[in-house]
A = this chain, B = another copy of it.
Amino acid sequence: MYRTHTCGELRLSEVGQSVTLSGWVHKRRDFGGLSFIDLRDRYGITQLAFNEGIDPEMLSKARLQNREFVIQAVGIVVEREKKNTVLDTGEIEISITSLKTLSESKIPPFTIEENTDGGEELRMKYRYLDLRRKRVRDKLLLRNKISMSVRTYLNSNGFADIETPYLIKSTPEGARDFVVPSRVNSGQFYALPQSPQTFKQLLMIGGLDRYYQIVRCFRDEDLRADRQPEFTQIDCEMSFVEQNDILEIFEGLLRHVIRDVHSQELGEIPRMTYDMAMKLYGNDKPDIRFDMTFIEMNSLVKGSNFTVFENAELIVGIKVKGCANYSRKELDILTNFVKRPQLGMSGLIWMKVDDNGTPNSSVNKFFNEDSMKNWMTAFDATKNDLILILAGEKNKTRKALSDLRMHLAEKLKLRNPFEFAPLWIIDFPLLDWDDESKRWVAMHHPFTSPKPQDLSIINEDPGSVRANAYDLVLNGNEIGGGSIRIHEREMQAKMFDLLGFTKEEANEQFGFLMSAFEFGAPPHGGIAFGFDRLVALMGGDEVIRDYIAFPKNNSARDVMIDAPSKISNSQLNDLSIHISNNDVTN
């Protein structure tokens, strides 16, 4: 037996017991005739004590054990003279009577500490060493905890975990598929799923009623920061439900997880239409932990000599509470923020309310005090408040003000990562116009049903049709999205038609689903959560990479195992494929 206890569990109550521990040498400290080893495992750190006066040979042996050696030690639990109040095991130490090196270690390329000296690339290459850091390990353990919490909730609500296939069929709609050449069916390919969407719908048609899966999905995208080619979803589907049924069940899921993980009780999750979110926050995933909602000013400011406002489609502002003391320089920084090419605004207008409640603005010469007092009323602004105003084309202006709002919230430290403020966004548009391909694309996906009351305008004004689609937003991040699905063949065919599929393409790619609709499909709907992001947010982070045991880098490479890599000619021959030489760059 390698150990009687872990390195995290011994307390004063075990004093006098003989114990065996195994673990890694976290640190060794030598003093005259004394040495101490901090022995580390997943569960904690326990101090091993070696005393020349008691056993000089054991002391010499201890001094051979360097950082990250794996050792096994036998000894007696004793009460420490100097207690360590930071460590759970800090009241005791082990007086060692026997010591064995199980594995030696070279000097690790970076320190195994909370704050390591290792850079990103190095830590990725030696990920197995990075995982030894408590900070990284705790993230994976949190992920496990949330996964089990999600499963417990869903199972207790009648959802069955049903595995869907990973080797499926490629469909050109949406993002690029990863494909898998078939050897047995040569010249043909499987695709890895971007989501189990059609399969979960088939499960509903198959009468399974409530399905879930914590499942890997794959997207061959040009990589952006913090995107992984493989990612994990909590994928769910229910039959015989309307939108409200789904919102209630999954509101319960988030409540359950936050209770399990943070012992916090969530109130009821507010619901907001997409249109309202765009109007109030300029964003379909608003962070509502803080206020600064948009106030539209068109009716307040039109009719002046100020051409910027006169020419603008939208004039809109936010109130920054108590920030009238911002200096010229600070305001210039904010102005430059909105003038960056990504946002492209021509300028930022400000109004300050001074100590006496008198307004003063960067457009004083165009608006008199009475006008500005009207603005104060509209913003509910009082002394020392700052109002920031943008004007321009509607969508662009909203986006810029939304980014400015988030920027200010960061600056003002309004984004406490452990305050959780979820929000449902509902009534999304069904379709989105894609300027590049000059066609309508599905805002959610082609299986989302339009709102029945909007069906009458679907031909003349498809852009105004709303969908039975919803997102769950948490602290400014979309953590889940779903919809009530189409469950009728004709409606599905109509949808493919709107999206520019020919009948043949629709049948070729989704014929199996449209056939299934002809054999008694129940009304159904569902949702999928980005599990990586949910876990990161629960951990107080917005970067997902550290919450994945073996993530890929921004070039979709695993630098530890060196994948992807070349394969042998005999493998290529077996698969009846070869590589186009002119394209080979590596």
Q: Which residues of A contact B (CB under 8 A)?
A: 1-3, 6, 22, 24-25, 40-43, 68-70, 102-106, 108, 126-132, 137, 140-141, 143-144, 147-148, 151, 155, 160-170, 172, 176-192, 198-199, 202-203, 205-210, 216, 218, 220, 222-223, 229-230, 232, 240-242, 245, 487-488, 512, 516-523, 548-550, 552, 555-558, 560-568, 571, 573-580, 583-586
Contact = CB atoms under 8 A, between A and B. Distances in A.
A376 to B, nearest CB: 47
Contacts of A199: 549-550
Contact of A185 (B168, B185, B190, B586): B586
A189 to B, nearest CB: 5
Oligomer: number of copies: 2
A155 B164 CA distance: 24
Given A187-B586, A523-B102, A585-B186, A128 B165 contact: no
Contacts of A557: 185
A223 B167 CA distance: 15
Contacts of A162: 140, 143-144, 549
Contacts of A155: 144, 148
Given A563-B190, A579-B187, A166 B230 contact: yes
Given A128-B205, A206-B131, A558-B168, A223 B520 contact: no
Contacts of A144: 155, 160-162
Given A104-B520, A128-B519, A179-B181, A548 B163 contact: yes
Contacts of A573: 580, 583
Nearest to A548: B163
Nearest to A172: B568
B186 A103 contact: no
Nearest to A187: B584
A179 B575 contact: yes
A471 to B, nearest CB: 23
B22 A186 contact: no
Contacts of A167: 178, 218, 229-230, 552, 558, 563-564
A155 to B, nearest CB: 6
A70 B106 CA distance: 67
A398 to B, nearest CB: 33
A241 B488 CA distance: 56
A485 to B, nearest CB: 12
Contacts of A521: 70, 103
A184 B128 contact: no
Closest CB pairs A-B (n = 4): A131-B206, A105-B520, A576-B583, A2-B240
A390 to B, nearest CB: 37
A520 B41 CA distance: 12
A218 B167 CA distance: 9
Contacts of A209: 6, 41-43
B566 A189 contact: yes
A356 to B, nearest CB: 58
